[in-house]
Chain A
Amino acid sequence: MAHLCRKDMGKNMKEKLTVKNHFRLVIPARSQNEAFARTAVSAFASQVDPTVEEINDIKAAVSEAVTNCIVHAYSNDDAIGTIEIVSRIMSDNSVYIRIKDKGCGIADIKQAKTPLFTTCAEGERAGLGFAVMESFMDKLTVHSGIGRGTTITMSKRLTER
């Protein structure tokens, strides 16, 4: 019985994921680049033949992450910082996206993720950036440290058609 179980487990073991395609983009943290960043990632993800809804989900998530870099990460800096975007198409039809800044970092990630919470008094920010990323993507992780910048990684498995 135990032997059979092991055999079944072997059959069901996930195949190791491989990277089918990837790109890396480094852009200045200027608001003009919000549209460019989401369009670049969505054009790249289009290779996997996503639905219109999936493409819009990815666009919105990227837009939120990049906007956070522009509005929050470098808000105290005089010079314009940079945003690095890495995206990969994986062998299981998922799209991986990493968005990284070298800005001020997030003091309390849990608080930052709370819907409607914002540190921005001006500019009418809704405080929904992380809520959009979390609900529109399958996975979201946030790594951040004060003065050490923030790295967001997210992924979404696209439906096979």
Chain B
Amino acid sequence: MVEIVNTGERVTAGIQGDIDHHTASGIRAEIDAVLENSTPRILILDFGGVKFMDSSGIGLILGRMRVLQGFGGRLFIKNVTGHVEKIVKLAGLSGLVLK
């Protein structure tokens, strides 16, 4: 499940629950539906509500970056702590964390 806040310029997608290969496709579809309609300048993926994530979460981040590149948007991630932070670090994506 994804909670979307859309100001037109900026979309924040608050992901809830577990991110694995099974759940990723639904999360991806929800976010991409918004990106397609709004083509925002900035997309923020909020991991505050994520209880568990495996490398499917990294696939989700990289895939959305690709979508945003299509119209010159930028991606950031936030509330990346504990276990999620460990996976993000392993993937070398710490630079995307919103400060």
Closest to A63 in B: B54
**Count of A-B residue pairs with CB < 8 Å:** 72
Contact A135 B90 (CB under 8 A): yes
Q: How far is the CA of A67 from the CA of B57 in the complex (A)?
A: 13
* A108 interface residue (CB < 8 Å to B): no
* A32 interface residue (CB < 8 Å to B): yes
Contact B54 A124 (CB under 8 A): no
Interface centre among B28, B54, B59 (most CB of A within 10 A): B54
Contact of B83 among A35, A60, A135 (CB under 8 A): A60
Contact of A124 among B22, B28, B53, B87 (CB under 8 A): B28
Q: Given the complex, which residues of B lie within 8 Å of A128, measured CB to CB? A: 55, 58, 90-91
* A34 interface residue (CB < 8 Å to B): yes
* A73 interface residue (CB < 8 Å to B): no
Q: How far is the CA of A131 from the CA of B86 in the complex (A)?
A: 12
Q: How far is the CA of A158 from the CA of B60 in the complex (A)?
A: 31
* B24 interface residue (CB < 8 Å to A): yes
Closest to B54 in A: A63
The interface bits of chain B over 10-35 (1 if a CB of A lies within 8 angstroms of the residue's CB, else 0) are 00000000101110110010000000
* A140 interface residue (CB < 8 Å to B): no
Q: Given the complex, which residues of B lie within 8 Å of A131, measured CB to CB? A: 55, 90
Q: How far is the CA of A52 from the CA of B81 in the complex (A)?
A: 13
Q: How far is the CA of A124 from the CA of B66 in the complex (A)?
A: 10
Total contacting residues, chain B, CB less than 8 A: 23
Contact B54 A67 (CB under 8 A): yes
Contact of A132 among B24, B25, B28, B55 (CB under 8 A): B55
Q: Given the complex, which residues of A lie within 8 Å of B63, measured CB to CB? A: 124
Contact A35 B91 (CB under 8 A): no
* A21 interface residue (CB < 8 Å to B): no
Closest to A55 in B: B83
* B98 interface residue (CB < 8 Å to A): no
* A71 interface residue (CB < 8 Å to B): yes
* A78 interface residue (CB < 8 Å to B): no
Would you list 12 pairs from A and B whose C-beta atoms are within 8 A, ordered by A residue? A34-B21, A34-B22, A59-B54, A60-B53, A60-B54, A60-B83, A64-B55, A67-B54, A124-B56, A126-B55, A126-B58, A135-B90
Q: Taking beta carbons and an 8 Å cutoff, which residues of B are in contact with A?
A: 18, 20-22, 24-25, 28, 52-56, 58-60, 62-63, 82-83, 86-87, 90-91
Given contacts A60-B54, A129-B55, 5 further A-B contacts (CB under 8 A): A63-B54, A125-B59, A128-B58, A131-B55, A136-B86
